[in-house]
Structures are given as C-alpha cells and as structure tokens.
Amino acid sequence: MRKQVTILDIQKMKDEGTPITVLTCYDYPTARIMDGCGIDVILVGDSLGVVVAGHENTLPVTVDEIIYHSRAVMRATPRAMVVADMPFLSYQVDIPTARLNAGRLIKEGGAAAVKLEGGTNMADTIRAITSMDIPVMGHIGLTPQSIHRMGGYRVQGKKEEQADRLMADALAVEAAGAFAVTLEGIPQKLARKITEALTIPTIGIGAGPGCDGQVLVLHDILGLCEKYSPKFVKRYADGRALIADAVSAYIAEVRSGEFPTEAHSFN
Ligand code: KIV
C-alpha cells in the first residue's frame, strides 16, 4: 500500500516548490479513482450541499452530512489526505461547539484534518481546535458561508484596504496554528503576495497560479453542473453528455428489447 499523505508532506511540498493537488469528492467510487490517480488531498467540502444535494448555497449542510460523506471517501483513500469541511453553524457559535464538531469529523468521519472559513475572527477557534491535535486548514477571501454578508459570490480583496485585511487574516490563520490555508476568489497578485508571506502552504481556488496548490470542485471539472460555472473553473470532461448518452442508450435498449440478452440472464 502506498504511503498516506500527511500534513508533513503538504508542508514539504511547499518547501520544495512541488504544487499541491486538491479536489473535492463526496463518495466512495469516485474517491477510489481519484486516489488511484495520485491526488494529494481530497476535500469533503460543504459544496456538496450545492453540487450533490441541489441546495442554492452551502448554508444548509450539516455536520452529520459531512460525516456520512467523509466516511465513504475515507474508505477509498489509502493515499490521499482527507480534509472534512466544517459546515455553517458548526464552529461559529462558540469554541466548545467548534471543538466538539471538529472532533466528530475526525472520530466519526475518519478525516485527517478539518477546514473552516474565516481569518482573524476565527483565530481563537483555530487555536482551540489545533490544541486538540486536530490539523486545521483555514479558508479566507471569498468564503461561501458568508454569502449574505458579501452580497453574492464576489471576488474579495480588490481594494487596498480589503487586501490588507486579507493579508492580516492569512497571517492570523497561520499564527493560530493552521497547517494550510485556502485562498478563494482573490486577485492573483494578492494571492502570490500572501503565499510568499506565509510559511504554511496556500491552496488557491480562483486565486491564480501563484499559490502553493490548487483546489477545484470535482463536479465543476467533470462538467456535471448545469447552473453556474465561475471563470476560474476549467472543465476537463463533459460529464453531463457522458451520463446522458449512457442513460439514453439504456432507455432505448430496454424499450426496444435489445437489453437484456442471454449474456445478461441466468438459466
Ligand atoms: O466546499 C468546498 O468545496 C470548498 C472549496 C471550494 C474550497 O470549500
């Protein structure tokens, strides 16, 4: 069995200038394929609320849902490091609740680390969770759980004052003990500056090529989502067409009597 990726490997990759590859995933068969391809980190993101469950945004996702999907992913990943997202309301209310929920994602979900959104405002929470020996990935910039404050999914840090605040957030997340930080939806120059200022790795999504690693939502790169395709997504497959072709062929063959044949039947 190949060696499991750990936070030490992730740090070494930054130190050696090796790009860190991260994708979201929510189920066993897909995670098995991705692990076999050599992905470094799988994020069981709360994006599952949108791309799997069909919600408008990530806010309805629960800890139990993340645990369910993490367990499926974890069983399929002898190599990749699995990071479980902390959903809305699982860490913002108070620190004891945050510690308990982070612990559940590790104990029940089987993840090796958790991710939570927020910068300076979440530093004490990150410190409290890492003090339980649970590795935390930060997430700053366009934080989808803050959709109502941001007034939609908008690039953050375009103005100098906002950019300074994001730099302060990144430094606060690192000082609080996070092992990495996701930079989402920020100008590429700012992402590069933050990456150079931090000793921990930055994982970009819509933050340009200057980050230590990249993360995207799996359903986006597979072309499975019909609704919203942000500028930063690159589609690597036409998954909707692939599924539609297979399902249409099945329907046609059942209707025509072409399936099943002797080969698919028992005597
Ligand atoms: O939930 C998620 O998929 C995420 C990524 C977009 C970083 O947080």
User: Is residue 70 included in any domain, yes or no?
Assistant: yes
What six digits make up the tokens of 26? 């929510």
User: Is residue 39 included in any domain, yes or no?
Assistant: yes
CATH classification of the domain holding 20: 3.20.20.60
Same domain, 112 and 200: yes
Mean pLDDT of 150-167: 96
Give the range of the structural domain holding residue 118, as residue numbers without chain letter. 7-236
With a 6 A CB cut-off, is 217 part of the ligand 1 pocket?
yes
Same domain, 254 and 134: no
Same domain, 72 and 172: yes
Mean pLDDT of 43-55: 97
The values of phi and psi at residue 41, to 5°, are -135, 135
Mean pLDDT of 191-199: 98
**Nearest atom (ligand 1) to Cα of 117:** 8
User: Is residue 2 included in any domain, yes or no?
Assistant: no
Same domain, 23 and 49: yes
With a 6 A CB cut-off, is 85 part of the ligand 1 pocket?
yes
Distance CA 108, CA 105 (A): 6
What six digits make up the tokens of 219? 């359903």
Same domain, 159 and 267: no
Mean pLDDT of 181-204: 98
CB 8 within 8 A of CB 200: no
47 is in an annotated binding site: yes
**Nearest atom (ligand 1) to Cα of 203:** 7
Same domain, 204 and 267: no
Tally of domains in the chain: 2
User: Is residue 1 included in any domain, yes or no?
Assistant: no
Same domain, 245 and 142: no
With a 6 A CB cut-off, is 46 part of the ligand 1 pocket?
yes
Q: Is the pLDDT of residue 2 over 80?
A: no
Distance CA 251, CA 248 (A): 5
Distance CA 217, CA 24 (A): 5
Same domain, 66 and 195: yes
Question: What's the pLDDT tens digit per position in 85-137?
Answer: 999 999 999 999 999 999 999 999 999 999 999 999 999 999 999 999 999 99
Residue 228 confidence class, pLDDT cut points 50, 70, 90: low
